[in-house]
């Protein structure tokens, strides 16, 4: 019998916590936030109906403490917990703890998490279910790894079995590189996941990274919600996602979707989840992993389908059946998402924590900004430096690209460095505009997208722009109406002056 939640604890922070709380409010469900010592003034705390301290800044002592999260939910009288993504979202022990406490976990069952949580176990399970997987092998020593790689054929990838987010991954081009890559991959895997198990996988050259969204209820009804192309990556981590994929036909997407649904049914899956595939240039695709949670890039799927995936997760957790079949689902137009990070692309995308002095987000037709920051807030060094997810929708990909360029030009952040300038360069690159890219795109175009040699005009204008910004600030402070003079005597509005100065700070 379906139930109705009255209060849900959101076991997360930042933009995803805010995003979940917005849907809860639309559904008439009260939201409870948790916060660490450094997140006391965070946006998600302000948005929630109530908030409780959870512990020190370190995630291991706050957001990752199962006992504290569950105890807080009980104390607050919550019916359920939504985990967002990251932190405890794919922790089967957390699901078990919720069930023992009589609290509903808004997500998949612990059994599915355990089946798919280990990449090596997931590969075997999916192979048994008939899902195509990349040739690979489990090895215990470098000698075994070299022997297996010689059989598979170089290049190969070393991957952490319990990994994710681009951690614990190394590309090996020859046997001579194996020993050092093996140790580095294991060390990183141990550091980030507490498990140094790694495995070998054939490296597919110039692939696209295409994923399939799945959604299922507790009664076994499962559908796929089409694809997302996540091939623009830095350090094996996604930074831009779009749907539909420029590289996949509707027939191919349907085939991938059928395979994903088949794989999900094999592990008794329900709620939202994602099957990730490598799409080779010849059209062959191979299973990478399944993310048993909501994805960061879920907004683009929502924009083209009209679904609210968080709402669907809540309804499923309440025991309701899916309100649609596969034949009812269709997409309209194109959507693209940019992850706006507090980081410095020119310095290897190193995080750039600090206080945001000013923040102006874009608006207008077809624009969605899922943010977790506000002017005056601090981007902490303790957590992922994601500021927001900027998404756009348009009737065609060409118009979506143009709309994103316009949106990026309106996005202003001062006080910290961001990757906004990188995104603007990317969306001006002719190959990206044409949809010609793969997972190695950023590495091949590093100088154009991450360097400054191609835009010396910005440096030449530095002094002039600084003066223009100072004048704009003076105008706001004094009410002066005289516009700042720009190039060729043109009148430079305070908005444009601020934007140009912002470009220099990124």
The pLDDT assigned to 355 comes to 97
Q: Is the CA virtual torsion 45, 48, 50, 51 positive or negative? A: negative
Pairwise CA distance, residues 400 & 304, whole Å:
12
User: What does the angle CA 108 – CA 111 – CA 113 come to, to the nearest 5 degrees?
Assistant: 60
Question: Tell me, what DSSP letter sits at residue 183?
Answer: H
* Structural domains in the chain plus CATH codes: 7-106 (3.40.50.20), 135-202 (3.30.1490.20), 208-450 (3.30.470.20), 456-505 (no CATH)
Which pTM was predicted?
A: 0.84
Contact 401, 426 (CB under 8 A): no
Least trusted range by pLDDT, from 23-27, 344-348, 367-371, 498-502: 498-502
For residue range 126-140, list pLDDT tens digits in order.
999 999 998 889 899
For residue range 454-464, list pLDDT tens digits in order.
333 443 344 33
Look at strands 104-105 and 156-160 and give their pairing: unpaired
pLDDT tier for residue 499 given thresholds of 50, 70 and 90: low
For residue range 170-229, list pLDDT tens digits in order.
999 999 999 999 999 999 988 888 888 999 999 888 999 999 999 999 999 999 999 999
pLDDT tier for residue 501 given thresholds of 50, 70 and 90: low
Single out the residue of 278, 260, 296 nearest to residue 126, CA to CA: 260
Single out the residue of 252, 245, 296, 170 nearest to residue 438, CA to CA: 245
In the β-sheet with 156-160, what is the strand arrangement from edge to edge?
Answer: 136-138, 198-202, 156-160, 169-172
* H or E segment to which residue 144 belongs: helix 142-152
Q: How many CA atoms lie within 13 A of 315 on its CB side?
A: 17
Pairwise CA distance, residues 293 & 289, whole Å:
12
- Active centre residues (catalytic): 293
For residue range 432-444, list pLDDT tens digits in order.
999 999 999 999 9
For residue range 241-292, list pLDDT tens digits in order.
999 999 999 999 999 999 999 999 999 999 999 999 999 999 999 998 999 9
Single out the residue of 106, 444, 453, 464 nearest to residue 292, CA to CA: 106
Neighbours of 171 (CB within 10 A): 13
For residue range 86-127, list pLDDT tens digits in order.
999 999 999 999 999 999 999 999 999 999 988 788 988 999
Contact 402, 491 (CB under 8 A): no
Q: Which residues of 67-89 are buried (b: 16+ CB within 10 A; e: fewer)?
A: ebbbebbeebebbbbbbbebbbb
Contact 159, 119 (CB under 8 A): yes
Rounded to 10 degrees, what is the CA torsion of 43, 47, 52, 53?
0
What's the whole-number mean pLDDT along residues 391-408?
98
- Reduced to 3 states (helix: H, G, I; strand: E, B; else coil), residue 241 is strand
Q: Calculate Rg over the CA atoms of the chain.
A: 23
Angle separating helix axes 462-478 and 494-505, nearest 10 degrees = 130
> Average pLDDT of the chain?
90
């Amino acid at each position: 019998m379906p139930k109705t939640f009255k209060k849900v604890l959101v076991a997360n922070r930042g933009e995803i916590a805010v995003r979940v709380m917005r849907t809860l409010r639309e559904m008439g469900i009260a939201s409870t936030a948790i916060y660490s010592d450094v997140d006391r003034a965070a946006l998600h705390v302000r948005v929630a109906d109530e908030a409780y301290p959870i512990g020190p800044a370190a995630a291991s002592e706050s957001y990752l403490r199962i006992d504290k999260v569950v105890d807080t939910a009980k104390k607050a009288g919550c019916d359920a917990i939504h985990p967002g993504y990251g932190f405890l979202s794919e922790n089967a022990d957390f699901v078990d703890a919720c069930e023992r406490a009589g609290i509903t976990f808004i997500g998949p069952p612990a059994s599915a998490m355990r089946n798919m949580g280990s990449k090596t176990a997931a590969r075997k399970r999916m192979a048994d279910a008939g899902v195509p997987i990349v040739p690979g092998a489990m090895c215990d020593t470098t000698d075994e790894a070299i022997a297996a790689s010689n059989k598979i054929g170089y290049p190969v990838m070393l991957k952490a079995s319990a990994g994710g987010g681009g951690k614990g991954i190394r590309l090996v081009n020859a046997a001579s590189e194996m020993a050092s890559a093996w140790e580095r991959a294991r060390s990183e895997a141990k550091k980030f996941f507490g498990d140094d198990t790694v495995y070998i996988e054939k490296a597919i050259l110039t692939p696209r990274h295409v994923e399939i969204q799945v959604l299922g209820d507790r009664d076994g009804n499962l559908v796929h919600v089409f694809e997302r192309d996540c091939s623009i990556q830095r350090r094996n981590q996604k930074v831009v996602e779009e749907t539909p994929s420029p590289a996949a036909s509707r027939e191919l997407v349907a085939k991938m979707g059928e395979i994903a649904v088949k794989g999900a049914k094999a592990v008794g899956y329900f709620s939202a989840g994602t099957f990730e595939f490598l799409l080779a240039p010849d059209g062959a695709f191979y299973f990478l992993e399944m993310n048993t949670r909501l994805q960061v890039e879920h907004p683009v799927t929502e924009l083209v389908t009209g679904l609210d995936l968080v709402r669907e997760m809540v309804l499923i957790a309440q025991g309701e059946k899916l309100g649609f079949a596969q034949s009812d689902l269709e997409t309209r137009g194109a959507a693209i998402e940019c992850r706006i990070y507090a980081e410095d692309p020119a310095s290897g995308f190193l995080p750039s924590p600090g206080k945001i002095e000013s923040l102006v987000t874009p608006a207008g037709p077809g624009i969605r900004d899922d943010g977790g920051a506000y002017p005056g807030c601090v981007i902490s060094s303790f957590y992922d430096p994601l500021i927001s997810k900027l998404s756009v929708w348009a009737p065609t990909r060409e118009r979506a690209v143009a709309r994103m360029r316009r949106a990026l030009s309106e996005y202003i952040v001062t006080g910290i460095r961001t990757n906004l300038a990188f995104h603007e360069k990317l969306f001006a690159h002719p190959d990206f505009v044409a949809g010609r890219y793969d997972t190695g795109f950023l590495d091949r175009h590093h100088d154009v997208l991450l360097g400054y040699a191609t835009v010396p005009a910005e440096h030449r204008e530095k002094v002039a722009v600084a003066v223009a910004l100072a004048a704009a600030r003076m105008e706001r402070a004094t009410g002066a109406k005289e516009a700042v003079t720009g190039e060729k005597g043109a009148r430079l509005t305070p908005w444009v002056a601020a934007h140009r100065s912002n470009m220099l700070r990124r």
